[in-house]
């Protein structure tokens, strides 16, 4: 897809600009990252990359993700879990998250009002805001229903918000 290509290009430029080299491994990782679903963990990305090139190590995935962040192409997020999940940078398509604390489902949303709010708060307090993270925790429709019926927990372990 063209969108992905543009990003690959941006990453390539970042490497050059920073005096870094472009390698087969890095290429595989960034392609897999752009192709992956959102909210992937380093481990998940590693498995995807591994599927097409078993010689690539987890360490390289971590290192490449760090570069993607420095290039402004990825953002790390920590929801309730112990590990970090990565998203394509929010600059392109700002979005926030709704996390079901019962089944672990993550739903994205966008809300224009938030940007106004953000600016208003920033102006009031003298900050210059460059980025934000908003997470709403609760129950998705299904889990809300189950809870109401007093069912015991199922699915993956919920995390404290």
Q: Which residues are at the interface with DNA (CB under 7 A)?
A: 15-16, 19-26, 41-43, 55-60, 62-64, 66, 82-84
Residue from 8, 14, 38, 135 touching a second copy (CB under 8 A): that is 135
Per-residue x/- marks for a second copy, 58-77, CB under 8 A?
-----------x-----xx-
Please state the separation of Cα 15 from the chain's center in Å.
Answer: 21
Binding to a second copy, residues 78-97 (CB under 8 A): 78
CA gap 61, 67 in Å, rounded: 10
From residue 143, how far is each of 39, 74, 97 by CA, in Å?
Answer: 21, 31, 17
Minimum CB distance to a second copy, residue 95 (Å) = 12
Is residue 139 involved in binding a second copy (CB under 8 A)? yes
Is residue 122 involved in binding a second copy (CB under 8 A)? yes
Minimum CB distance to a second copy, residue 32 (Å) = 21
Residue from 91, 138, 151, 153 touching a second copy (CB under 8 A): that is 138
Minimum CB distance to DNA, residue 47 (Å) = 13
Burial status of residue 77 (CB atoms within 10 A of its CB: 0-12, 13-18, 19 or more): middle
Identify what 137 binds: a second copy, DNA, none; CB under 5 to 8 Å per kind. a second copy
CA gap 42, 63 in Å, rounded: 10
Collect all residues with Cβ–Cβ distance below 8 Å to 159 and sequence separation of at least 6.
Answer: 79, 80, 81, 101, 104
Collect all residues with Cβ–Cβ distance below 8 Å to 96 and sequence separation of at least 6.
Answer: 108, 109, 110, 111, 114, 133, 134, 135, 136
Footprint of a second copy (CB under 8 A): 69, 75-76, 78, 98, 100-101, 107, 109, 111, 113-114, 117-118, 120-122, 124-141, 144, 160-161
């Amino acid at each position: 897809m063209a969108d992905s290509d543009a990003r690959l290009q941006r990453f390539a430029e970042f490497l050059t600009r920073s005096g870094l080299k472009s390698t087969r491994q890095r290429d595989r990782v960034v392609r897999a990252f752009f192709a992956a679903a959102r909210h992937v963990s380093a481990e998940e990305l590693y498995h995807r990359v591994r599927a097409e090139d078993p010689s690539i190590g987890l360490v390289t995935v971590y290192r490449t993700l760090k570069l993607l962040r420095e290039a402004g192409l990825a953002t790390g997020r920590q929801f309730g879990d112990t590990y970090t999940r990565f998203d394509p940078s929010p600059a392109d398509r700002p979005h926030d998250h709704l996390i079901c604390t019962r089944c672990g489902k993550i739903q994205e949303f966008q809300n224009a009002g938030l940007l106004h709010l953000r600016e208003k708060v920033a102006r009031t307090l003298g900050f210059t805001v460059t980025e934000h993270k908003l997470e709403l925790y609760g129950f998705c429709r299904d889990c809300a229903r189950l809870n109401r019926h007093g069912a015991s927990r199922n699915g993956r372990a919920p995390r404290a918000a």
